[in-house]
Structures are given as C-alpha cells and as structure tokens.
Amino acid sequence: MAADLIELKGMIETALPGSTAEVIDETGTGDHLRAEVSAPQFEGKSRIDQHRLVKAAVRERFDDGTIHALTVKVLD
Amino acid sequence: MADQELTDRVRELINENQVLLFMKGTPSAPRCGFSMRTVQVLDQMGVEYGAIDVLPALQPLREVTSEISDWETFPQLYVNGELLGGCDIIEEMFENGELAETLGVEQPAEAEPAAAEAPAGEAPYQSPPMKIEGT
C-alpha cells in the first residue's frame, strides 16, 4: 500500500506543533520517502534526536508496513 | 522484548569502543549502500573504529537497538557510548564539519569544497570486524 504523503505531512505537523513538513516520494514506489522538516522543537537538539521526533510522529505507518524508509532532512 | 544477553553484549561493545559502527557486511565488503557510504566517511576521518556486521543476527539486533537507542535501521554509528546517527546524519555531519568535531579530529582536506584533488589516502585504521553470532 502506498503511503499517503499528505497524511504523513499532517502527522508530523500535528505531532510537532508549529512545524512545517514536506514529504516527498523519492523512488516513486510510495515506500521510500523523504521528509523535509523545520520545527521549533528541534532547537538545541542533536541530529539524532531531531530525527527521532520526526520518526516518532509517523511511527504508526512504519509499524503497519506502509513506509520502509524515511530519510529526514532537517531545515534549520 | 529484546534478548537480555544480546542486549548486555551490545551495551558492552558500545562502551568499550569509542567509535563503533553497526553495519551490513564488513568495512572491506559492505553489503548495503548506506553502510558503504558510512564506511567511506569514517575512512576519510582517519579514526580507529570497531565494526560489527549485523546481518548474522539482524532481527535480534534490531530489537536490541530499538530498545537501547530507539533506532531500528542500520548502519548505526556510536561515538562515546551514544548513537550519533545513521548514514544520512553521518554524511550531513561530515559535510558541515560536526563529525570531525565530535570525533576530535581535523576535518579531512577532501571534505573542503575547494579541494582540487584528493591526496593519496592513508590506509584506514580499523580494528578487525567483530562478530555477533545469530541466536
């Protein structure tokens, strides 16, 4: 099942209030995605913690197998 | 629930090795593009690092790292006992100089945008691959 990019964008922006997210399908197969996120919650956090916040926001879609890979790009 | 014995072993390895890479395959024969790219970055840094091939025990190791680091995908690079990141974080930190800073080394010349030609690289320092047997 292909991921719903709009849904994922919404999940990230809901989990991180004040953030903006763009989710891009990198391979055209709907399961290898790239999220470009800017969020006030990133302030003062290490890269790994920033990525954890984003992944946690869409965990449900990892767990149900919709997404296999999500590259995170943090926009400062 | 991750296997307790394996969890203890992984924690031990993370604490014993200042720089430790969990990867698919070995540094000389990576079996995943992301692992290969991470090795290439580390080799340019000229630091000694331990490498663990996760393939013989992929699923159990996923469960362990999920529990101790909240991270399930490989490669994973640990520095001073902490997960620094996977391939994309390592490459980004390499490019902006944060990796050199974290590792306490000089940023290699090849990473400079102005570098015309990469100098003949030294052979990378690297401890022999460690093994974790599948359970």
On whether residue B121 sits in a domain, the answer given is no
Here the tokens at position B127 are 């401890």
Q: Which CATH class is domain A5-74?
A: alpha beta
Residue of B70, B73, B89 lying closest to A47 (CB–CB) = B89
On whether residue B75 sits in a domain, the answer given is yes
Chain A residues interacting with chain B (CB cutoff of 8 angstroms): 47-48, 51-52, 69, 71-73
Work out how many domains chain B is built from and give that number.
Answer: 1
Could you tell me which chain A residue has the CA closest to the CA of B83?
A48
Across the interface, whether the CB atoms of A69 and B88 are under 8 A apart is answered no
pLDDT, one tens digit for every residue, chain B (135 residues): 789 999 999 999 999 999 999 999 999 999 999 999 999 999 999 999 999 999 999 999 999 999 999 998 999 999 999 999 999 999 999 999 999 999 999 998 765 544 344 444 444 455 656 677 654
Q: Mapped to the 3 state alphabet, what secondary structure does A19-40 carry?
A: CEEEEEECCCCCCEEEEEEECH
For residue B2, the Cα-to-chain-centroid distance in whole angstroms is 21
Domain regions of chain A by residue span? 5-74
Residues spanned by the domain of B46: 4-104
Please tell me if residue B93 touches chain A, with a CB cutoff of 8 Å: yes
On whether residue B50 sits in a domain, the answer given is yes
On whether residue B56 sits in a domain, the answer given is yes
Contact B48, B125 (CB under 8 A): yes
**In sequence order, which residues have a C-beta less than 8 Å from that of residue B37 and are 6 or more positions away?**
B87, B91
On whether residue B74 sits in a domain, the answer given is yes
On whether residue B116 sits in a domain, the answer given is no
